[in-house]
Every structure is written in structure tokens, then in C-alpha cells.
Structure 1
């Protein structure tokens, strides 16, 4: 082995672990900013919860890659015939990590996540049972999303994405505030809609690979028109949630107006994906939409706290 190769190999494996854990996709972690703006206390609990959610999500996406590699769907979706997807994002497909290395990494992250969330519960000023049960259910479901029970292979993919995002806002809020809030629930659902919208556009692009392995996403189960109608309904429902919350007093009356910039971007995303047929650019825009939503919801919480 040459000196140059020996020096490069550890760095290559390290990058492989970073890609396996999708550390560059941080959008699920932004929910902690919403909670911090709403409660403005207990920073130690917030930090422990954030570190725990990073570990749990890293474990979940690593197990998802392991299953995708085993069943061949990633070989289809990231193979040489699909030039829109970067093969290196899937280190098992690219050969930069072995399956055994990926499994050790995934379960190590899962154990770390469990300990960190337990520490967050211990340090929290409140421990409402609904928040603890919600965390426990989502922890188990995250590890079974594509591995073990394979929840996403039984028609639960889209629902899980929303519930995961919702939990990452609602559970830490409950642990710190000690109460349930309808307005925070609305924020949590809107936050969960962001990753869901990444997912449904990705599924639209990955429909052939998912159908080949029997993964029943909405895109795989319906026609192109049916899938477009589903995503259009999700986009409209996102707006209606904020509008109804404002109209009924669950949220401040100005809330629906505050989030209009994100609503406009969501409409742009749908037009780009289905009117112009550029699904991958639409998926990329979804990250911007989600981040704008987070910014506006944080602002809403700051305004409420300021009175």
C-alpha cells in the first residue's frame, strides 16, 4: 500500500460515514429553533434533545441506505442510468463503506440517540407522559422505517415523515413548557410538512426503483396525474392549516399572512415540478420552502413572546 493511499483511505471512509448519516441535510434539526423561540429557557435540555435527534435520524437514514442497498432500489435510483443523482451520496452503492461498517455505525448512532434523549428527559423541567410516549414511539419507528418492520414498505412512509417532524417540535416543547399548545401543534405539523414535501418529490423521481422492490409510495401506487393531485392537495392543505388556525383563534390572526412568502414558494415548487416537469429542481426548492417556513414560525413565536 502506498503512503498516499494509506493517508487517503481514512479520509475517504470518514466522508463515507458523513454521507451515510446525511449530515449535510440538516433540515430536520431546525425544529429546535422553533422550540427555543417558543420557550426561551432550559438550554441544556434543548442541546441534549438536539444531539439526540441528530443521532436518531442519522441511525434511521443509515438503516434506510442499508435496506436500499440490499433490495437493489438504490442501485436503480443512483445507478449509471440516472445521471441526476450523485452515486457518492450512497456510500454502499459507491463502495466507500462495507455493509458491516454501515450496520455498526447505524446501531452505534441509535444507542447514542437513546441515551441523549433519556438525558434530555432527566434534565427537563417537566415530564408530561404524552411527550415521553411520543418520543419513545418515534424512536422505535425511526429505526423500523426501512429496516426490520420496514414501515415505509407498508404504506406508512408519508405519514411517518410528518409525524417525525411534528415530534421534533412538540415533544421538546412539552418537556420544557410542561403543557400542550394548539398553536405549537400547528407549527409542528407545518414543520413536519417540510420533510414530507422533500419525500414526495423524491418519490416521484424514484418511482421506477420503488415499484421494482414493492415500496408502496403514493407515486408508485398511482398514476402521474394521481400523484400530482396528491402533492397538490398536500400543498393546499399546508396553507389551509395556517388559515384555519388563524380564523379559529388557535393561532394569532396575522399568522396566515406572516407565512404567505412560504406559501408562495410552495406554489412555485408545484408549478416547477408538474407544470414544467422539473421534479429534481422542484425537490431542491423544497429545502428553501422549509427553511423559510422555519424562519417565519420562529419570528411568529418571538412576536407572541414579546406580546
Structure 2
């Protein structure tokens, strides 16, 4: 199938670039308010002095991730997996979300956008490091590695094509909390590490449902996601285990004393919603609805994590 066969309709270039950058999927960007709340909890007050640094880091995050998803689209278009997953007989997703498949952007335009976004992201993260109260060598190196690895997700060395997709999705979320927090404080408490772990599981727990929907396309180009490698039953068990691990982290942190006693009941709505998500995907067979639920659940989880930090600020006051 050629690109011409799936062209939908022309639209303004600016909108096509916004679709390419997936700006409506802002879930990773919630790391910035989460870090602000966690820093304020550590200081015992709302710390507005860190806003310039967090703003620079957050804008850099938007640019780096825009480059990542643009390069992912470019690779997916070239290897045919996006065309397979967004073919006319798979109408569950709007093709306009994939500008190359829809024919609203060219390969050259996508590559140019990715290059510009990556350059802007690198510059903004450099500014964030320069503004940071703490910038130990290990942290600066870690942020530089994060920048480079992010661009290699499905381009260059193509990490997601070598069995690292699920780990990458979660680890990216962990890093986008821990890195800016450490720039402010020089380290991270056990409770902040707990928050970062939970935050990273959010994107993973809608990503694995996407992978379940994309099994045939991923198998066709040899992209080894868990969903593509194992049986449907094993994949359902894997996703159920990830959902259970989210609650296990909350419970372990509370029992170990890393989190306050009320952390388990505070986060309980997330556990209930995860069970409903799994039931929707694997008992009712509506994988795409379960995927959409994942976005909402991650956002609820992040709001509750921010609430936990706000409550700690109130307790300290």
C-alpha cells in the first residue's frame, strides 16, 4: 500500500506538526508539576524559586519527546508498520494522527522537524542545568545520556526494535521525575523515588495496551514487544502483573515507612481503575477502550501523587 492510498484530506501544516509531536498526549509532561510539588514537600513550603529551572526543563522535555515521536513515526512509516496498523481495515485510530501515513507531511518535513525539536530540547535542558542549584557531574552526564537515548528509541540504534520498548517507556517516566528533582535538591528521598516509579508505570500501562492492538504490525516488522512475542494469555498475565506491581509499590513504600500511612488509601482509586482497565481489555475484549482508560488513570494517579506532596507540605507547616 502506498502513502497515496491512505491520504485523507489536506490540513494546515501547523496542525499536522502538532499531530506529529503528539502534543495532545501530555502525560509525560505532568512530571513538572509533580516535581514542583515534591520539591515543595521537601522544603516544607511552596518553592516558586525553582520555577525558571523547571520551566526550562519542562519545555525541553516537550521538544525532546516531540523529536522522539517524530522519529518513531518516520521509522514506522519507512518499515511499513504504521501503514499496516493504520490501514483502511483498521479504522480504530484516525490516520491523521500519523501525518506521514495520512500524506499531510513528507519524510523530509518530518526529519527536519525532529532535528529542530531535538536541538531545541538539548538547548533548553542545558539552560535548565545552568539554572539548577545542584549540578553534580553524575547528574549532568545522566541528563546527557537521557537526551541521547531518547532519540534512539526507534531511530538510530532503535532500542524499541531490540526488546527494550517496555523498559524504555517506564524508565523515561522515572528519569523525567528524578532528573529535575535532583537538579533542585542534589538527590532524591525514598518517597520521591516511589513517586517516580509510579509515574513511570503510567505511560507503560497504556503503552502495553497499544502494543496489544498492534501485534500484527509489530510482528510483521520484527519489533519484539511482549505482546508480539508471547501468547494472548501470557500477555494478559503480564499486563495484570504490571497493574498489580503498581499497588505493590504503594504498599511496600507505606509498610517500609517511605510513605505516610495514608498513602495506600489515597492511591486506592488507581488500583480500582487498573482492575477495571484490565477487565475492559481482556475480559470484554475492548483493548482500545482500555488503552484510552490508561490515559485517564495515569492522570488521576499523578494528581493523587501531587496531592500526597501537598498534604506533606501541610503537615510540615
Normalised to the residue count of structure 1, the TM-score between the two structures is: 0.95
User: CA separation in 2, counterparts of 1:136 and 1:271?
Assistant: 40
Asked if 1:262 corresponds to 2:270, the answer is yes
- 1:27 is aligned to 27
- 2:310 is aligned to 302
Q: How does 1:98-109 map to 2 (within 5 A)?
A: 98-109=106-117
- 1:249 is aligned to 257
Give how far 1:262 is off.
Answer: 1.0
- 2:279 is aligned to 271
Give how far 1:184 is off.
Answer: 0.6
User: CA separation in 1, counterparts of 2:201 and 2:163?
Assistant: 17
- 1:56 is aligned to 64
Q: State the number of aligned residues.
A: 299
- 2:43 is aligned to none
Asked if 1:162 corresponds to 2:170, the answer is yes
1:199 aligns with one of 203, 207, 219: 207
Give how far 1:132 is off.
Answer: 2.3
- 1:290 is aligned to 298
Q: How does 1:102-141 map to 2 (within 5 A)?
A: 102-141=110-149
Which 5+ residue runs of structure 1 have no aligned equivalent?
1-7
Give how far 1:133 is off.
Answer: 2.7
Q: Is the CA contact (8 Å cut-off) linking 1:194 and 1:290 kept in structure 2? A: yes
1:212-249 CA-partner distances (Å, limit 9, x unpaired): 00000000000000100100000000100010000001
- 1:212 is aligned to 220
1:50-108 CA-partner distances (Å, limit 9, x unpaired): 00000000000000000000000000001111010111100000000000000000010
Asked if 1:97 corresponds to 2:105, the answer is yes
User: CA separation in 1, counterparts of 2:178 and 2:56?
Assistant: 15
Q: Is the CA contact (8 Å cut-off) linking 1:183 and 1:251 kept in structure 2? A: yes
- 2:16 is aligned to 16
- Report the CA distance shift for 1:181/1:128 in structure 2 as closer, same or farther (over 3 A): farther
What secondary structure does 2:91 align onto?
coil
- Give the root-mean-square deviation of aligned CA atoms: 1.2
Normalised to the residue count of structure 2, the TM-score between the two structures is: 0.92
User: CA separation in 2, counterparts of 1:213 and 1:288?
Assistant: 30
Of 216-225 and 133-142, the range deviating more from structure 2 = 133-142
Q: Is the CA contact (8 Å cut-off) linking 1:128 and 1:174 kept in structure 2? A: no
- 1:226 is aligned to 234
- 1:150 is aligned to 158
